[in-house]
A and B are shown apart, each in its own frame.
Chain A
């Protein structure tokens, strides 16, 4: 029994190592040809065997970064509401509903994004451009709504439940004596949150945010429906763009030649490295400040 269990655990480790090996192995033709310049090169032209991931890395970082920026305050607010403000019965209903948002598969978010969200964004864009057009972020609408903005919204919806569920569990671990003590001293609810709850859970919240970011960085299907897969770097949110994961999903089946396929594997390898770095970062942040908190267990 012990041996069996230990073997199962070790299989996890072996699989993970093999993932990296397979990706690197299949990416080898592209690595040999493009080297590390692949990371910065912004052209993607498989017809001429020229591939670079620069625009993809830009699109990946911008879409996930903005989604995380939007989802963090919202998610933390929901976590606070569920942990500290909601009456027990509301908490027991709203909490699972928010978690349900994470259960909806990405294909449905993609389909919904394309059919419902994209037309909505199309109508939204001219107004935003008119009002805020002086900021480069809100440039001239370029498409029928298939844009970086749509991808950001879809990703925000997808990582919101992750951040809110994780932070709710964290806020519930704040010792009752601390918050009760602050309230007894006359602190208002906001002062309890700001003075006691947030400082004592800051590292866990940070870890939850990084985990949400990691999820957004790797999302392929939902993004591929709404971002347009256009290999370009624009300041405007209303222009179509591309991300690494989404590019793999879009072009893998129709890869033109071995070189193209190898480049897609190379993109995958980059994503794995980014993903593992975010996992490590989440662990490091969670472990740094409050060792005793059960972040590792809830995350």
Chain B
């Protein structure tokens, strides 16, 4: 619908037409009504999204809260349905932690390369950015298949290590992207001041730029870790065979993780097992939501410090 008003603003050719007569088009009421309808629709859409989040969170909370207790998190499971999820929590922390230890420094280094060292028109940087985009677009199940071929087949067994590598591949592009973004926010005057004092580039990066961007980098790291903690597809492919009832932290063997517990209990015909899975889902979701809120708070603080 091309309303008279937008023609008045833009003219026939889409450009401003100074010779158009400034007369009322006489359909102000209709235009106003359409505008209100659009506003209401958009508001309703936003409310719907918030409502969906509320429904999902409420459903998980309502079903998981009954199994939640201190013992639930700090006890090992017993049998298919009893006990807590301690070994799963520990395993998730180990697998995600190892993946983060690999991916986060690499991601930050990649971000530094792209913003601080590569020239604006560097072809290498272009290729790396394209690769980061594609890596972030890789379905996580594909990342699982990849480490299966790379690590599990040669080693002839699934392992926490394989899952860690897979999660590192999930985290790396996120970390590189977020550190690239915060590094771009560091004011150029800082770099110029350091250059003027004759400081070498790497020293500037280490002592001036990284400290200034630290808040944003920490935020990116927390978000990446929260994302990896909930990833199921890679652990399903690379790390799904383990002792479900004992702590096993040997990274070269299967390590139990929370997403796998949920995945494997969902369709068990035992109500207690499903209840335990809801409890695990609640623990996982709370961790992820709290991490997200925390990351936002840190980001807001550091923005405040940088005067933005």
- Contact (Cβ within 8 A) B110 A185: no
Q: Which residues of A contact B113 (CB under 8 A)?
A: 2, 5-6, 8-9
Q: Which of A12, A189, A248 contacts B128 (CB 8 A)?
A: A12
Whether B66 sits at the interface, judged by CB under 8 Å, is no
Q: How far does the alpha carbon of A89 sit from the alpha carbon of B56 in the complex, in Å?
A: 24
- Contact (Cβ within 8 A) B145 A23: yes
0/1 string, B129-145, CB within 8 A of A gives 1: 11111110111111101
A107 to chain B minimum Cβ distance, whole angstroms, is 4
- Please give the residue numbers on chain B whose beta carbons come within 8 Å of chain A beta carbons, in ascending order: 3, 5-6, 8-10, 31-32, 34-35, 37-39, 41-43, 45-46, 48-50, 52-53, 55-56, 59-60, 63, 105-107, 109-110, 112-114, 116-118, 124-125, 127-135, 137-143, 145-146, 148-150, 153, 169, 172-173, 176, 181, 184, 201-202, 205-206, 223, 226-227, 229-233, 236-237, 240, 259, 262-263, 266, 277-278, 281, 284-285, 288-289, 292-293, 296
Interface residues of chain A: helix, strand, loop or mixed (majority): helix
A27 to chain B minimum Cβ distance, whole angstroms, is 9
- Contact (Cβ within 8 A) A191 B236: no
Whether A58 sits at the interface, judged by CB under 8 Å, is no
Whether A26 sits at the interface, judged by CB under 8 Å, is yes
Total number of A residues with any Cβ neighbor in B under 8 Å: 92
**30 A/B residue pairs, CB under 8 Å, sorted by A:** A2-B202, A8-B110, A12-B131, A12-B132, A13-B128, A15-B172, A19-B146, A22-B146, A23-B146, A78-B49, A82-B46, A103-B226, A107-B263, A110-B266, A111-B281, A112-B60, A160-B52, A186-B5, A187-B5, A188-B34, A190-B37, A218-B140, A249-B237, A253-B240, A268-B145, A271-B141, A272-B138, A272-B142, A276-B134, A279-B133
- Contact (Cβ within 8 A) A104 B142: no
Whether A105 sits at the interface, judged by CB under 8 Å, is yes
Chain B, Cβ-Cβ closest to A20: B146
Q: Which residues of B contact A116 (CB under 8 A)?
A: 55, 59
Q: Which residues of A contact B205 (CB under 8 A)?
A: 1
- Contact (Cβ within 8 A) B284 A108: yes
Q: Which residues of A contact B223 (CB under 8 A)?
A: 103
- Contact (Cβ within 8 A) B42 A211: no
Q: Which of A5, A15, A22, A187 contacts B112 (CB 8 A)?
A: A5
Q: Which of A74, A99, A101, A220 contacts B233 (CB 8 A)?
A: A220
Stretch of A30-38, A90-98, A123-131, A234-242 contacting B (4+ beta carbons < 8 Å): A90-98
Q: Which residues of B contact A25 (CB under 8 A)?
A: 149
Q: Which residues of A contact B107 (CB under 8 A)?
A: 8
Q: Which residues of A contact B140 (CB under 8 A)?
A: 218, 220
- Contact (Cβ within 8 A) B289 A103: yes
Cβ-Cβ contact count across A and B, 8 Å cutoff:
278
Q: How far does the alpha carbon of A217 sit from the alpha carbon of B139 in the complex, in Å?
A: 8
A97 to chain B minimum Cβ distance, whole angstroms, is 5
- Contact (Cβ within 8 A) B131 A219: no
Q: How far does the alpha carbon of A252 sit from the alpha carbon of B144 in the complex, in Å?
A: 11
0/1 string, A267-299, CB within 8 A of B gives 1: 010011001101110110000000000001101
B256 to chain A minimum Cβ distance, whole angstroms, is 14
Chain A, Cβ-Cβ closest to B150: A22
- Contact (Cβ within 8 A) B39 A13: no
- Contact (Cβ within 8 A) A186 B137: no
Q: Which residues of B contact A185 (CB under 8 A)?
A: 8-9
Whether A62 sits at the interface, judged by CB under 8 Å, is no
